[in-house]
Amino acid sequence: MSDDYNPPQTPLDVLHEDAQLIIVNKPAGLLSVPGKGEHLADCLMARVAAAFPGALLVHRLDRDTSGVMVFAQTPHAQRHLGLQFEKRQTKKIYLARVWGKLEPKTGTVDLPLIVDWPNRPRQMVCHDTGKQAVTDWRVIRSDEVSTRVRLMPKTGRSHQLRVHMLALGHPILGDPFYAEGPARDFPRLMLHSEELRLKHPDGGAALKFRAPADF
């Protein structure tokens, strides 16, 4: 990452907080965890820990992705939530705007992914050595240049949604890694973690958290 990291200085947006969980709405442009170097120390983990001492990381969103993230308040909650993500028991719904008219209205991308080592952190499709990656999509509406779509990943690979949309020929707008030309010329990556469903670590109650996108 370059030295021009200037994360937004917006107040922490807490959606829910109890003895086990903290749910926050991450702004685009803010790292989930610290990067290498003092200039990359500001991150959502640090901001959450400042407000909730003892908060623990459960999962991550890309720097340029906004939306719902969960942090744990206890080691028990961290283990419980981590297993839910590992066993694919959570349900994640993302909102994206992609280039062009995405058709048909619904579909599934099943393309294995692997890191593109010479160009990391970029990922790429590789049928020989890639790890399984599956994404369902559902079109909301289209305009002259783009399509608004909900993305439901069944797996949690790095850059999965971004590479899968690119593979369909519809890169996510504003994507600095995978979009080119006019598709890249947007003020931010148009990808937002809109909804997260999980089970509460204390009792297993089904919970749903949502945050609207700002695009």
Average pLDDT over the chain reads 97
- Spatial distance between the Cα atoms of 132 and 109, rounded to a whole number of angstroms: 11
Amino acid identity, position 69: M
- Looking at residue 118, what is its pLDDT? 96
Residue 2 has pLDDT above 70, yes or no: no
Task: Provide the CA 71 distance to its chain's centre, in angstroms.
Answer: 14
pLDDT in tens, 54-96: 999 999 999 999 999 999 999 999 999 999 999 999 999 999 9
In sign, the C-alpha dihedral spanning 92, 96, 98, 102 is positive
pLDDT in tens, 151-194: 999 999 999 999 999 999 999 999 999 999 999 999 999 999 99
Angle (CA) 48-51-57 rounded to 5° is 30
Read off the pLDDT band of 4 (50, 70, 90). confident
**81 Cβ contact partners less than 8 Å away, ≥ 6 residues apart:** 21, 58, 59, 70, 72, 198, 201
What's the pTM value of the predicted model, to 2 decimals?
0.96
The pair of three-digit structure tokens given for residue 79, joined into one six-digit string: 């283990």
Residues serving a catalytic function are: 62
Q: Is residue 129 a contact partner of residue 114, using CB atoms and an 8 Å limit?
A: yes
SS3 79: helix
- Spatial distance between the Cα atoms of 101 and 159, rounded to a whole number of angstroms: 21
- Spatial distance between the Cα atoms of 142 and 11, rounded to a whole number of angstroms: 33
- Number of separate helices (H) and strands (E) present in the chain: 3, 12
pLDDT in tens, 15-43: 999 999 999 999 999 999 999 999 999 99
